[in-house]
Amino acid sequence: MEFTYTVTNRVAEIVMNQPPVNAFNSTGWFNLARTIRAAGEDAGVSVLILRAEGRGFCAGVDIKELAKDGSKIVAVNKGCYESFEAVHRCKVPVIAATHGFVLGGGIGLSGAADIIIASEDSYFGLPEIDRGAMGGASHFLRMLPLQKVRRLFYTGESITAAEMAKWGAIEEVVPRDKLVEAAWALAAKIAGKSPKALRLAKEALNGIEPVDIERNYRFEQGFTLELYTSPDSQEARDAFVEKRDAKFG
């Protein structure tokens, strides 16, 4: 089971559930994108909650799929792009409710959302540099200042929910057992507004953003593809799957 989708009182909820770490292969990303778009197109939906079950929110792409077949990077790139775009361009507000790890593609999903509510155990990062890939900085830049993103991108380090909140990236940090309740409370408040006004507000807010994150992310993905043509990328993926330190020439 990759995820479930339900609608209650004008609130749609997508719950990712892909053990062990909610990492999706190319097919999974395309399926997620289609479901997010469907929520936005549903006249009976006024707000969407995106959350997860399991150990963490989302660990990104399925590295094992790419380690077996590097050519899958084209489909994975496209699937990630469509999922993040679906969140950002969803016709209704999207609340990302995160817990545990929010890594790689998890940054794309949460960074594309309108509002983030995080549990106290959430931590955010782009470990791509240690996985033979690039990408995600465009969405991290919606949450954190440029110099902070650069450090995290170069080092592969993570940042806690409490630190993210200091930068204004997270609306609310709550105990893990209160996460779903907090997300639904905010969603219910939003869902009580005029459906027409909410959709116009989402379109207007997207229209006045200073940066086109879809264009920027697509630009980033070109470098992922370039990196994938190098031996360093395959070595990084192999080392990750084999649970050892990478050895670069």
The domain segmentation of the chain, as residue ranges, is 3-192, 195-242
Question: What fold does the segment set 195-242 form as a domain?
Answer: Lyase 2-enoyl-coa Hydratase; Chain  A, domain 2 (1.10.12)
Based on its alpha-carbon atoms, the radius of gyration of the chain, rounded to whole angstroms, reads 17
Helix pair angle (213-228, 73-89), 10° resolution:
170
> pLDDT value at position 185?
98
Bridge partners, residue 158, by sequence: 125
Question: What pTM does this model have?
Answer: 0.94
Q: Could you tell me which CATH number the domain at 3-192 has?
A: 3.90.226.10
Q: Rounded to whole angstroms, how far apart are CA atoms 6 and 181?
A: 16
> pLDDT value at position 1?
61
> pLDDT value at position 45?
98
What SS3 class is residue 15? strand
Q: What is the 3-state secondary structure (H, E, C) of 57-117?
A: CECEECHHHHHHCHHHHHHHHHHHHHHHHHHHHCCCCEEEEECCEEECHHHHHHHHCCEEE
Q: What is the pLDDT along the chain (249 residues), one digit of tens a residue?
A: 689 999 999 999 999 999 999 999 999 999 999 999 999 999 999 999 999 999 999 999 988 887 788 788 899 999 999 999 999 999 999 999 999 999 999 999 999 999 999 999 999 999 999 988 888 999 999 999 999 999 999 999 999 999 999 999 999 999 999 999 999 999 999 999 999 999 999 999 999 999 999 999 999 999 988 998 889 988 988 888 888 999 997
Q: pLDDT for 91-148, tens place per residue?
A: 999 999 999 999 999 999 999 999 999 999 999 999 999 988 888 999 999 999 999 9
Strand order, beta sheet including 158-160 = 101-103, 123-125, 158-160
> pLDDT value at position 114?
98
